[in-house]
Structure 1
Amino acid sequence: MGSEKEEQFYKRLKEELNNTTTWPSSYLYKFIIPTDKDKITRIENIFDNKGAVINSKKSSNGKYTSVSVQLIMESAEAVIEKYKEVGKVEGVISL
């Protein structure tokens, strides 16, 4: 995403989260990444020591892996911060 487009996306996400959620709240992240143990480990490490429940499942052909992360987040800003961290992992698609 271009930085201006990305900024608009996160601004809109923050507004939506604040309008629909009472913080702290449970939040479910979903990502799709090319199957690569190092990339999966990097995502897991971003949420490590946060009490997250992390599930991963390979696609039927094994080319991609979906990673779901559920944890209690303190604010919309905290949710967005994690999306930005995970976004630094090459090939990640955030759902």
Structure 2
Amino acid sequence: MGSEKEFYKRLKEELNNTTTWPSSYLYKFIVPTDTDKISQIEDIFDNRGAVISSKKSSNGKYTSISVQLIMQSADDVIEKYREVGKVEGVISL
């Protein structure tokens, strides 16, 4: 498995090859259903004009969170992934 640094390098190249900035970007995360963790993710995108939606899994153990917003560059996209990655138990899709 590659390192986190390599993953973000590939993601940046892919985003820059397929996207004209600024552009709308859709983040998707899976998080254990915990109001504190969900609030932490929402706070990361607060005051950015994000449209945030969430849906609990059928058993209620996990919550999927989608965040759509205008991002200025691939670096901005990656920075948000890194911030969300600090929230324990989050899976970025």
TM-score (norm 2): 0.98
1:85 alignment counterpart: 83
Deviation of 1:49 after TM superposition, in Å, equals 0.2
Deviation of 1:19 after TM superposition, in Å, equals 0.1
**C-alpha distance in 1 between matches for 2:48 and 2:32:** 24
Deviation of 1:81 after TM superposition, in Å, equals 0.1
CA displacement, residues 51-95 of structure 1 (integer Å, 9 cap, x when unaligned): 000000000000000000000000000000000000000000000
**SS at 1:19's partner residue?**
helix
Aligned-partner residue type, residue 33 of structure 2: T
Gaps of 5+ in 2: none
The 5-angstrom pairing of residues 4-43 of structure 1 reads 5-43=3-41
2:62 alignment counterpart: 64
The 5-angstrom pairing of residues 36-55 of structure 1 reads 36-55=34-53
Number of residue pairs aligned between Structure 1 and Structure 2: 93
**C-alpha distance in 1 between matches for 2:51 and 2:3:** 30
**C-alpha distance in 2 between matches for 1:74 and 1:11:** 17
Aligned-partner residue type, residue 71 of structure 2: M
Aligned-partner residue type, residue 37 of structure 2: K
TM-score (norm 1): 0.96
**C-alpha distance in 2 between matches for 1:38 and 1:85:** 15
**SS at 1:50's partner residue?**
coil
